[in-house]
Structure 1
Amino acid sequence: MKSIIFKIPEFPHLSETFIVAQIETAITLGYDVQILTRRLIETEASKIPTRILKYDLLNKIIVENYKIPKNKVLRLLKWVFLIVENFKSIKAIFKYHGEFSKFSLTWLYQLHFYKQFNTAHAIHVQYGTNVNPLDVLKKVGFLKPSLIVTFHGHDVFFPISGYIHNNGYYDNLFGFGDLITANTPYLGDKILKLGCPNELLKLIPVGVDTDFFYPITSIQNRKDILRLITVGRLEEVKGHKYCVEVVKTLVKQGIKVELTIIGEGSERLNLQALIKEYQLEKHVNLLGAKSQEEIRSELCKHDVYLLLSVISFNGLRESQGLATLEAQACGLPVIVFDSGGVKYTLKEDHTGFICNEYDTEEVSLKVKEFIINPAKLNAMSDNAIEFVKNNFSQKVLNEKWRTIYQELNNG
């Protein structure tokens, strides 16, 4: 059985369900999977999603540990032993050490650690910032598997995390990697501008498990209160305050509307203060973080999904917006700002509306359209379900990945 190694910064990171979905894809396609991570997160058993348990992912984890002795003498003796053990790769070892400005015993330990993965079909890295040292090992001819790197958004905006600068940071990856993937044309364009060759890049959106996200209840024949919802960590880029602004505008006009916000983050206190300032305590509910099951349940109790994300102080934008797809899969039309790659997750005036960034008045008008014309809400609801099923369902994307993995194998 061919194997794929997924390299992930930390696991299980319970909020990054799209990474678990990618791993599930490989398993579904018949690959043996291992998960390589720098940090194993201790998580209460009761909080681990069933999909992680279903595929026994916790028993597929390998922690990135080079097993370097703390004792200096033992460290040197083991280093000599590794030189002898890896003597057939001595040219690659010299080349690898030559890639660094200073000599360190660590480099050989690192190279030896990654030797165990040379029988794999591919190593699929999540986040560009997580590719090191695979790009260098590929450059010196030591790494045998195909190297795939999937970017997710923050990993293209320099300085990344406030300290990683673009001084040729991805040159080795773009020169020696086998495949780069991005979830939207927006993110793909950012990667190309960093120097990625066109032929190396493929656009593959993050998919939705439509067997999990589906309409449990019909939006038809509900009460006269229009229920809005948004899901995501409470951070500036998600634009929750603009959702509150929309509710303020609608309530002032005497429109019966409620907003539910699911998520936790640094903006909670600011949002609480804004809700209080606008006297919207009866109209806006902050529910905090919820499980995937709880999110699905809440989506199916609401009518319209909002994602009014904006550019953050450090230039970050939403690269795709998985939550808009999950909402549509549950039958909710979506209204979004034209920011980043979010607009690629819906079909304008068919499954939702795309509004100018920061224009809460335009969003308010679109919400009112659903109130004035309930038939449009119902039609868009049906359209949204079909749109996601035909373009973003995990089943559709599994077939795309089947082709990609096979092509890399044949290459």
Structure 2
Amino acid sequence: MNKIIFKIEQFPHLSETFILAQIITAIKCGYDVRLLIGELLDFETSKQLDLIKKYEIEEKIIIEDYRIPKNKGIRLLKWFFILVSNFKNIKPIINFHKENTKFSLTWLFQWFYYNQFNEVAIFHVQYGTNSKPLDILKKTGFKPALVVTFHGHDAFFPINGFIPNNGYYNNLFVNGNLITANTPYLADKIIELGCPKELLSIIPVGVDTGFFYPNKEIKMHKTLKLITVGRLDKVKGHHFCIEAVAQLINKGMDVSLTIIGEGSERGNLENLIKQYKLQDKVFMKGRKSQMEVRQELWDHGLYLLPAVALPDGRRETQGLATLEAQACGLPVIAFDSGGVKYTIEDGVSGFVCNEYDIDCMFNKVKLLIEDTEMYAKMSNKAIIFANKNFAQKIIDQKWGGVYSNLCNGKK
């Protein structure tokens, strides 16, 4: 059985929903899957604990530990022992050292650690920033195919506010076997960084339409219950949702808003709710499990995502929650920010407004309140759109083909 190792910096994490889906895809495709984890976090806090247990993920974990002795003398002795015992591989060892900026005993421990995985079929790295040292190892003869999936922040420099673009991805773009992005927007950003177009594929993050589905007849209720789901971060534009609701209520519209998620913007959003005196109309419910999110979607009628650019120009690269909402029958009204527009069929499964255009969002919500027939049609079209283009089974088939080609020596 071919083995795939997923290299992940932290697990489980806030981004675990789509990363875990990717891992499960490989398992369902019949591969022997392992997770190489830099830092293992508490499983009990995971909102995906049921899936982690179902697919026995915890048993597949390998902690990335180079086992470098803390004592300098012992470290040096072990370094010499590794060097002598691997002298037949002296050429790739020397080449690996040459690729690093300055000499360090660490490089040999690192090379020796990864050498144990040299017969693995595929390394699938999550986030471009996590591709090191595999990008250099590939240059010095490391055998496994290298797949790197970018997710967003890893394509915007300075990454995390401090990593400069001084040829950071040069080795990856030369030595990697496949780079993937979730939307054309993110793909364009990666190409701007120097990635060859022929190395890049666009594979969206899928939605589990077996879990997210409509459980009731689509109809407009007296009060239109709006909802948005996502971390409380400026890039999500939650404050625009609140401002749109304030406008709607001022115009006599019977609406409410539920915000699901946690993050650094909570205090600012709570202050804005108080400022507009919307405490009985806007409800912040914190972070929820997938089961709880689904129930909330079932209890609401329309999804909002007024995502906007951050000061560094970074934008939302796809937006999974918009697809989960549509799969449950909720039309989506969103700003045209980053890759969000690719998750909506404008005018069919929802509406795409220009970035920062609250008036457009207001008018589209008002339109659906007043035109119940349009609302019903759009709800049904949203279900069809999500299932036809983003159902996890469709995405699984795409990845199955990718993995098969790589195992057979094809790109």
Q: Normalising by structure 1, what TM-score?
A: 0.98
Letter in 1 for 2:280: K
Displacement of 1:211: 1.0
What residue number does 1:64 align with? Answer: 64
Whether contact under 8 Å (2:131, 2:148) holds in the other structure is yes
CA distance in 1, matches of 2:402, 2:46: 35
Indicate conservation of the 8 Å contact 2:3/2:122, yes or no. yes
**Distance in 2 of aligned mates of 1:52 and 1:15:** 14
* 1:376 corresponds to 2:353: no
Q: 1:134 aligns to what?
A: 134
Return the offset for 1:226: 0.5
**Structure 1 residue 94: deviation in Å?**
0.4
Q: Where do 1:262-281 residues align within 5 Å? A: 262-281=260-279
Residues 11-55 of structure 1, C-alpha deviation per residue, up to 9 Å, x if partnerless? 111542000000000000000100001100023278552111110
Q: Name the residue aligned to 2:234.
A: 236
Q: Where does structure 1 lack aligned partners over 5 or more consecutive residues?
A: none
* Runs (5+) with no aligned partner, structure 2: none
Aligned mates of 2:47, 2:154 — CA distance in 1: 28
Equivalences for 1:205-284 in 2 at 5 Å? 205-220=204-219, 222-284=220-282
**1:119 Cα deviation from its structure 2 partner:** 1.4
Which residue of structure 2 aligns with residue 162 of structure 1? 161
RMSD over equivalenced CA pairs, Å: 1.1
Counterpart contact for 2:2–2:407, Cα < 8 Å: no
Does the 8 A contact of 1:228 with 1:302 survive in 2? yes
Give me the whole-angstrom Cα distance separating, in 2, the residues matched to 1:109 and 1:159.
29
Distance 2:275 2:357 in 1: 20
Deviation at 1:282, TM superposition (A): 1.3
**Greater relative CO (CA pairs within 8 A, separation 6+):** 2
Amino acid in the other structure paired with 1:296 = R
Q: Distance in 2 between matches of 1:183 and 1:48?
A: 21
Compute the TM-score of the two structures, normalised by the length of structure 2: 0.98
Instruction: Note the 1:283-322 alignment, pairs <5 A.
Output: 283-322=281-320
Structure 1 pair 194–158 and aligned structure 2 pair: CA distance change class (3 A): same
The aligned length equals 409
Question: 1:183 maps to which residue?
Answer: 182
Question: Which shifted more, 92-101 or 21-30?
Answer: 92-101
Deviations 1:336-376 (A, max 9, x none): 00110000001011100000111111101000111111111
Residues of 2 paired with 1:135 and 1:91: CA distance?
A: 17
Q: What corresponds to 1:90 in structure 2?
A: 90
Q: Distance in 1 between matches of 2:197 and 2:371?
A: 45
Q: Which residue of 2 aligns with 1:337?
A: 335
For 1:325, which of 315, 318, 323 is the aligned residue?
323
Determine the C-alpha separation between the residues in 1 that align with 2:122 and 2:323: 28
Aligned to 1:396: 394
Query: What is the percentage of aligned positions where both structures have the same residue?
Result: 59
Amino acid at match of 2:231: R
Asked if residue 44 in structure 1 is aligned to residue 37 in structure 2, the reply is: no
- Asked if the contact 2:43/2:49 (under 8 Å) is kept, the reply is no
**Aligned mates of 2:294, 2:217 — CA distance in 1:** 14
CA distance in 1, matches of 2:101, 2:346: 52
Equivalent residues of 1:159, 1:166 under 8 A apart: yes
Where does residue 6 of structure 1 map in the other structure?
Answer: 6
2:78 maps to which residue?
78
CA distance in 2, matches of 1:30, 1:341: 31
Amino acid at match of 1:408: L
Measured in 2, the distance between the counterparts of 1:362 and 1:121 equals 50
Decide whether the 8 Å contact of 1:4 with 1:123 is kept in 2: yes
Q: Retained in 2: the 8 A contact 1:14–1:48?
A: no
1:244·1:284 contact (CA, 8 Å) conserved in 2? yes
Preserved CA contact (<8 Å) 1:331 1:381: yes
Q: C-alpha offsets along residues 53-101 of structure 1, whole Å, 9 cap, x if unaligned? A: 1100011111110001111221111111111222221100001111123
